[in-house]
């Protein structure tokens, strides 16, 4: 006679029910914001506001050696953001750094909490300094972000110590590298920003970018070279190809691993040329 194992059947049903409950809980967990990190999944990416100048350069363009000797005179500078905290400006000055740019804003939702120490501290040791804005073209218009930048530290005055503001336009650390825009839309967004910045300050903004990003996301547009100084990012022994239209760079960010502050730059000229840019 067959033996009826009711206890075994109930046990299997209990295990199936428990497995279903566990799967439902895992589905809910994965659906929660940031939960994939907690569950050991892929990272959700950096938090809004934490973007810094050149943070995507190594991942997209790689990293080579430091610049080799050049016949042209170069003036050393740095760029800083909140992750550096209170910067040792006297140490940098004594090492030969003569100018600095500080992140002021990002989008229309972030201001650098260390801006005063960094922007005023560099000025107080004798540096010529300026401010930069990390663009997020997928959040608000170029004009809105330019106004936000000017209103939160990105202004300019002809005091001989203040450089024009910088539009930092590069890979999107929070999503699609071109911020979901076509090349034509990106060019229009940049034009909106720089036109508004000039209307507010009287100065043409410096454009910071990388050649590969500029090619991918603006179609290698050549329409800004006659008005906007170029700050190009390339971590190698030579600056390499420049974006279309620019025959030379004004600033070259050549490393993110320098002493004291990681991001180091060459200004393409002697200190009097840095002062000339400051004076407009």
Residues taking part in catalysis: 79, 168, 170
Give the contacts of 114 (CB within 8 A, at least 6 positions apart). 82, 84, 85, 86, 87
Distance CA 93, CA 76 (A): 10
Distance CA 162, CA 88 (A): 20
CA 149 to chain centroid, in Å, comes to 14
| DSSP symbols for 141-173 | -HHHHHHHHIIIII---SSSSBPPPEEE----T
Distance CA 32, CA 280 (A): 50
Closest-CA residue to 131 (of 142, 144, 120): 120
- 76 DSSP β-pair partners: 266
Distance CA 78, CA 256 (A): 10
């Amino acid at each position: 006679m067959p033996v009826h194992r009711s206890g075994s059947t109930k046990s299997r049903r209990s295990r199936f029910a428990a497995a279903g409950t566990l799967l439902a809980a895992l589905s809910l967990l994965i659906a929660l914001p940031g939960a994939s990190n907690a569950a050991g999944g892929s990272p959700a990416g950096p938090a809004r506001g934490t973007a810094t100048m050149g943070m995507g350069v190594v991942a997209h363009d790689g990293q080579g050696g430091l610049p080799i000797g050049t016949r042209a005179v170069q003036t050393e500078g740095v760029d800083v953001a909140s992750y550096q905290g209170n910067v040792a400006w006297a140490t940098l000055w004594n090492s030969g750094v003569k100018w600095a740019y500080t992140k002021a804003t990002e989008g229309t939702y972030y201001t650098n909490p260390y801006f005063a120490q960094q922007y005023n501290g560099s000025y107080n040791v004798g540096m010529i300094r300026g401010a930069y804005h990390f663009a997020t073209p997928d959040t608000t218009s170029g004009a809105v972000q330019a106004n936000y930048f000017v209103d939160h530290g990105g202004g300019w005055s002809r005091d001989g110590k203040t450089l024009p503001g910088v539009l930092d336009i590069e890979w999107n650390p929070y999503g699609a590298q071109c911020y979901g825009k076509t090349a034509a839309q990106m060019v229009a967004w940049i034009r909106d920003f720089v036109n508004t910045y000039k209307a507010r300050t009287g100065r043409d903004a410096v454009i910071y970018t990388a050649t590969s990003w500029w090619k991918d996301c603006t179609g290698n547009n050549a329409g800004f070279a006659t008005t906007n100084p170029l700050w190009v990012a390339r971590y190698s022994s030579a600056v390499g190809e420049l974006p279309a239209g620019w025959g030379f760079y004004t600033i070259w960010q050549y490393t993110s691993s320098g002493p004291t502050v990681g991001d180091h730059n060459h200004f393409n000229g002697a200190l009097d040329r840095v002062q000339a840019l400051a004076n407009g």
